[in-house]
Amino acid sequence: MFHTEYKNKFGLPSNILPEFLAVKNDLRKIVRCTINSYELKTVEEVCQKFGLFISAKTYDELFKGVSIQVTKTEINKISSQKLFIYITKNFDLIEQVFNIERVRTKDSAIKTGQLFQYPECCINFEVDPTCNPEHEYIFKNNENMNTKSYIYTKYNKDSFSFYLNNFLLFLNNQVSPFYLISHYPCNYNCEKSKVYAKKLLTIIDSEEPLLGKLMRKYLKLPVVFFDDSHLLESEKDENKGFVAEGEINGNSLYKKDLHSLRKYRDFGWRFNFADRITFEKNKIIFFKRIFGNNFLQIGKQKKQTEFDGLLINFVDE
């Protein structure tokens, strides 16, 4: 089973733990995380105990007056349950970041990124994904703030460093504690992001050794990700992708178990049922193990786009 319910010694919601530890240990000056409104009191108490300031903003406070297209369901979902919180040791930084961030222009996005201390290359990519032609992206930045997540850089390697695997955060709707970088990397080989992630993992190893151990395990699990750009807004949450227990060999996933797959359109059951899943350019092929290394094809599924069903291998480095 997946330890999204991971308990930490601070009693914090586990999804904010990596960001909290980054501030507590002076790796970052300020972070912004998402929590449920009922968790606010606990988070405030813990922050106070460690001399950290916290400020909570509602969805409306942070995004009001911005002419982005957000569906009604999303607004309701976010405003009723979620709060955005800033955590910092420097009280003045909170209003500074908030006032810049809520403006939502290209300039403010750059300044916000700088205040959050994201790598310069990643800030530039976030603001203009075409700034570096080598970083061709697969999942387009979706105009809509809430579904804009899945900038995924073109396969130019067979595998990527597990330090940059931030898919568990996305696939679990930001409830997972298993991530090191919370920004969108300019590409999954970004050296500056790796430097940050390595420093944070060292901190986590000393503060929460079990979390460090679990991260090394979970961040190396195969990820399958779907291009959801052709889906309706209401379908996206359920259909982002999943993390599997198993091994990748070439373009095939030899699967033992699945995590995070809630429903994948009408063929999700095949992912659950298959022992081997092969991802080709235009289709996904499902196999059942007969004995040893002998597999029987049990079905195939046409992809909506080339990137609709990508097998991503995050490995040690």
Interior/surface letters 35-48, b for 16+ CB within 10 angstroms, e for the rest: beeebeeebbebbe
Among 122, 123, 223, 248, binds Zn ion (CB under 5 A): 122
CB of 187 to Zn ion, least distance (A): 7
Task: Report d(CA 30, CA 47) in Å as an integer.
Answer: 13
Judged by CB under 5 A, which stretch of 18-26, 94-102, 116-124, 158-166 contacts Zn ion? 116-124
Judged by CB under 5 A, which stretch of 113-121, 227-235, 239-247, 272-280 contacts Zn ion? 113-121
CB of 229 to Zn ion, least distance (A): 23
CB of 193 to Zn ion, least distance (A): 5
Strand partners, 35: 83
Residue 126 or 208: the one with the smaller Cβ distance to Zn ion is 126
CB of 27 to Zn ion, least distance (A): 17
Residue 190 or 244: the one with the smaller Cβ distance to Zn ion is 190
Judged by CB under 5 A, which stretch of 141-149, 178-186, 222-230, 288-296 contacts Zn ion? 178-186
Residue 171 or 190: the one with the smaller Cβ distance to Zn ion is 190
Cα 135 off chain centre by = 19
CB of 313 to Zn ion, least distance (A): 20
Tokens of 177: 């504690």
Establish if 169 lies at the interface with Zn ion (CB under 5 A).
Answer: no
Task: Report d(CA 79, CA 172) in Å as an integer.
Answer: 19
Which helix H or strand E contains 169, and what residues bound it?
A: helix 167-171
The binding track of 38-77 with respect to Zn ion, each residue x by CB under 5 A or -, is ----------------------------------------
Listing DSSP states for 51-76 in one string gives: T-EEEEE-HHHHHTT------HHHHH
Judged by CB under 5 A, which stretch of 14-22, 54-62, 118-126, 288-296 contacts Zn ion? 118-126
CB of 125 to Zn ion, least distance (A): 6
Closest CA to 304 of 208, 253, 245, 228: 228
- The pair phi, psi for residue 244, each rounded to 5°, is -120, 150
Q: Which residue has the tokens 């319910």?
A: 5
Among 113, 119, 241, 309, binds Zn ion (CB under 5 A): 119
Cα dist from 279 to 152, 268, 276, whole Å: 17, 15, 10
Locate the DSSP E strands across the chain: 30-36, 53-57, 82-88, 160-161, 223-225, 241-249, 252-259, 276-279, 283-291, 294-302, 310-312, 314-315
Judged by CB under 5 A, which stretch of 32-40, 111-119, 246-254, 299-307 contacts Zn ion? 111-119
Judged by CB under 5 A, which stretch of 112-120, 139-147, 201-209, 227-235 contacts Zn ion? 112-120
Binding residues among 181-210 for Zn ion as defined by CB under 5 A? 186, 190
Residue 10 or 170: the one with the smaller Cβ distance to Zn ion is 170
Establish if 121 lies at the interface with Zn ion (CB under 5 A).
Answer: yes
Max CA-CA distance within the chain? 64
Residue 119 or 309: the one with the smaller Cβ distance to Zn ion is 119
Q: Interface residues with Zn ion (CB under 5 A)?
A: 119, 121-122, 186, 190
